[in-house]
Structure 1
């Protein structure tokens, strides 16, 4: 029998929510600083092609790991009691390990059958690391959700920092030894394994009553597994695992530039977005179970994330190639161009990703499946459009535009699920949105037509101004300043207008 531990948190008030997010953000900030510093070294130890081969391994592992858990980790915060939550988490872990074992057997069979062995898969001998990467990534995802339900975000924060150190030391050390792609993949695997151990240790997630208990748990949640795994895999194929499509269309070097750009751009996403998502999902699940009002929490989250994302990715849009060339060397300027092209999508994705779990909480899985098919087809089709003319940069720009449209639709959908709407959300924030929509395109159009010093001054002024605007809003809406939780100045009339 499993040892049942208390993993259901007390209700989260606004102050507790902000404290948890701050705790996660601090740990994630340290871990991302470690990864960015390591990236400066890795850019000089590995070539874009080696990053491209690593991107293929990472993409395949991510897709398989997403499917391997059957998305049972998302059911952990939704479980009615602690015993069920632990049973679900344990079933997810054993499912991942079973898939990893089957994948290892498949690679062995392929190596024996193919004259060229696993090297013919396009990633060299590093392909042998795919099964252990799947096992590590899947179990770490389960551990993160168990910790999120428990509210022990300090453990999540420590695991982020320590796993980043393990990964960075491993990748840098392997690079100094000249191990190439296997070194990049091996360091990543070491970091994920460390994270999984730290997150799952002491949670009570272990073998329960044997295979029958695992089968019973999966059967109880089979509908959730089917309806949530399909869109998750499709979304992974269209976003996190797009590298093989990039490599197929434009070559391994462009795939490496794409991976390196997204690696750096995950700093702000991981710093705030993942922290908000980790805290918001169990909170929304609790509010849904208890009949609480989700509208205020979602509205404030959308506003805060919007104000943080604009100056962050706006700077990348305006100075991407220059920043990457300065930090990582001239051969990575094209990665900076890739980052600039992806910036509009990442600005909106920074907002939509943390709140997208509301669709699971609200049991909108059928519609999510349909949307995922449309989304994946649109993203892949947009990315491959460069083959018709314009090359990889046109394809990446089209991919970014498609992602922007999809993420805007996702935000609109989430707002409607809580009784609001995109138009109602925009009304009290129209000055900020209008300033963003005018200032960044105008400044980008002036690039190359102004002296470099004057352009840099204008970029700095715009970035500081938008960041100050965000800081002012966050200060005015901080807990303890006399406003009710989930309400914003000027939002009352808009919210009342959509009440039914």
Structure 2
């Protein structure tokens, strides 16, 4: 199947207002409760333990994308239930193959006594967590595809709240990296139980009975693995890699502060992506070329409305961020206020980029999006490595890295706005309904 046709099909299936509200509420309440549990987590676990756990989290977040090779995204764009089930089977087969290969590789590395970034049992738990995370995403997309947004919302809520609450529970009983890992693993297992609803069984049944068809399905839709997966992996790496990188190049304590701020800062971005981003995508797909002025005014209005809020938050963090962090999170977490201040400009520009990222899809600039994500990742790696080589203080390195990435994202934002205004080819609004 043609790649553009596959993406257009995925974009055409936009959720209804009711479905969108359920998904937004599920993620919103989940993140809110997870944030409320943060003061308990920071009193049960040290910054160093959070920094070590950041390596675990990065493995799960990034590797789970490769487990499915992004075929779960095709479930949303399938025109018929049969096609959706076909993609479920392809995604499940991909999970089984890659999970088995990753487990075998881990056993080989253990046998030859290779030094691993985590204890072998933690990496094994990360692979199992990847398995549950991938199956959960398939179940969520299947539920959305079949107008069962309530199931998707409950699974998202269970994943967010379950992981944090279980980490609190095991923090009292075990503590250390073990409590964080086991809480994460069991929370993802609980989310899969909510999301599955027989989806895995159906996928395995088709897998057993149609192996020849399955190979043909994979060959005809391999564009997802070749084009979509790298882009999603790059975007995910930009979110999850800073904490383990700071833990590796500087100190686990530095990684812990970055991991905590990322945990708190990702909440509003995710909620905005699942509400404002979805609504903007749907409307922009209809008027991107016929009413460009309205979109540009909307973007300008969004900046005018939200920039004063970001500035106010920045001033608050500048004046009293560290005392507030020490009071809310615990005395040893005071530096989180400085890290939050450093990352605020980056998070704000990433919020604006939620809309321009969708414009790149609508305008057909997929290579630009992949190139931009690659550039962001290279800059992040280069800045952290150079600061480490120069023996820069980790707090200064955090500020420099966040500032460079904020400028990089802002440049891409402005480029996409320019492309929107000067794009010469009208978009087929009948085929793009974000």
Instruction: Give the drift of 1:247.
Output: 1.5
Aligned to 1:237: 237
In 2, distance between residues paired with 1:213 and 1:386?
A: 52
In 2, distance between residues paired with 1:217 and 1:263?
A: 37
Q: Which has the greater radius of gyration?
A: 1
Aligned to 2:372: 371
Q: Given the alignment of the two structures, is residue 23 of structure 1 paired with residue 22 of structure 2, yes or no?
A: yes
Q: Where do 1:83-94 residues align within 5 Å? A: 83-94=82-93
Aligned to 1:496: none
Structure of higher RCO (CA pairs closer than 8 Å, 6+ residues apart): 2
Aligned to 2:403: 401
1:309–1:107 CA distance, 2 compared to 1 (3 A):
farther
1:201–1:218 CA distance, 2 compared to 1 (3 A):
same
In 2, distance between residues paired with 1:31 and 1:75?
A: 26
Aligned to 1:454: none
In 1, distance between residues paired with 2:215 and 2:260?
A: 41
CA shift digits 1:367-394 (9 cap, x unpaired)? 3333333221112112334332542122
1:202–1:323 CA distance, 2 compared to 1 (3 A):
farther
In 2, distance between residues paired with 1:350 and 1:145?
A: 24
1:300–1:155 CA distance, 2 compared to 1 (3 A):
farther
In 2, distance between residues paired with 1:227 and 1:37?
A: 38
Is the contact between residue 20 and residue 153 of structure 1 (CA under 8 Å) also seen in structure 2? yes
SS of the aligned residue for 2:157 comes to helix
1:100–1:271 CA distance, 2 compared to 1 (3 A):
same
Which consecutive residues of structure 2, in runs of 5 or more, have no partner in the other structure?
1-8, 424-432
1:318–1:57 CA distance, 2 compared to 1 (3 A):
same
Corresponding pairs, count:
407
In 1, distance between residues paired with 2:121 and 2:159?
A: 24
1:49–1:35 CA distance, 2 compared to 1 (3 A):
same
Aligned to 2:141: 145
Q: Where do 1:192-211 residues align within 5 Å? A: 192-201=188-197, 206-207=203-204, 208=206, 209-211=209-211
Is the contact between residue 49 and residue 253 of structure 1 (CA under 8 Å) also seen in structure 2? yes
> 1:172 aligned to 168, 171, 181, which one?
168
Aligned to 1:253: 253
Instruction: Give the drift of 1:12.
Output: 6.1
1:389–1:50 CA distance, 2 compared to 1 (3 A):
closer
In 2, distance between residues paired with 1:92 and 1:310?
A: 44
1:235–1:273 CA distance, 2 compared to 1 (3 A):
closer
SS of the aligned residue for 2:335 comes to helix
Q: Given the alignment of the two structures, is residue 186 of structure 1 paired with residue 188 of structure 2, yes or no?
A: no
CA shift digits 1:247-286 (9 cap, x unpaired)? 22211111111101111112222333334446666x479x
1:238–1:165 CA distance, 2 compared to 1 (3 A):
closer
Aligned to 2:340: 339
SS of the aligned residue for 1:356 comes to helix
Aligned to 1:69: 68
Aligned to 1:436: none
Instruction: Give the drift of 1:188.
Output: 1.5
Is the contact between residue 284 and residue 294 of structure 1 (CA under 8 Å) also seen in structure 2? no
Aligned to 2:326: 325
In 1, distance between residues paired with 2:298 and 2:93?
A: 35
1:66–1:284 CA distance, 2 compared to 1 (3 A):
farther
In 2, distance between residues paired with 1:416 and 1:203?
A: 44
Instruction: Give the drift of 1:148.
Output: 3.9
In 2, distance between residues paired with 1:96 and 1:336?
A: 39
1:121–1:384 CA distance, 2 compared to 1 (3 A):
closer
Question: What TM-score do the two structures reach when normalised by structure 2?
Answer: 0.81
Aligned to 2:309: 311
SS of the aligned residue for 1:173 comes to helix
In 2, distance between residues paired with 1:297 and 1:395?
A: 40
Q: Given the alignment of the two structures, is residue 272 of structure 1 paired with residue 263 of structure 2, yes or no?
A: no
SS of the aligned residue for 1:239 comes to helix
Instruction: Give the drift of 1:44.
Output: 0.8
In 1, distance between residues paired with 2:315 and 2:195?
A: 36
Instruction: Give the drift of 1:69.
Output: 1.9
Which consecutive residues of structure 1, in runs of 5 or more, have no partner in the other structure?
1-6, 423-485, 487-500
Aligned to 1:57: 56
Is the contact between residue 96 and residue 134 of structure 1 (CA under 8 Å) also seen in structure 2? no
In 2, distance between residues paired with 1:80 and 1:340?
A: 45
Instruction: Give the drift of 1:150.
Output: 4.1
Instruction: Give the drift of 1:246.
Output: 1.1
In 1, distance between residues paired with 2:416 and 2:147?
A: 24
Is the contact between residue 44 and residue 175 of structure 2 (CA under 8 Å) also seen in structure 1? no
Is the contact between residue 376 and residue 409 of structure 2 (CA under 8 Å) also seen in structure 1? no
Q: Given the alignment of the two structures, is residue 155 of structure 1 paired with residue 157 of structure 2, yes or no?
A: no
Is the contact between residue 268 and residue 312 of structure 1 (CA under 8 Å) also seen in structure 2? no
CA RMSD of aligned residues (A): 3.5
Indicate the larger mover: 179-188 or 264-273: 264-273
Instruction: Give the drift of 1:210.
Output: 3.5
Is the contact between residue 167 and residue 183 of structure 2 (CA under 8 Å) also seen in structure 1? yes
> 1:391 aligned to 387, 390, 393, which one?
393
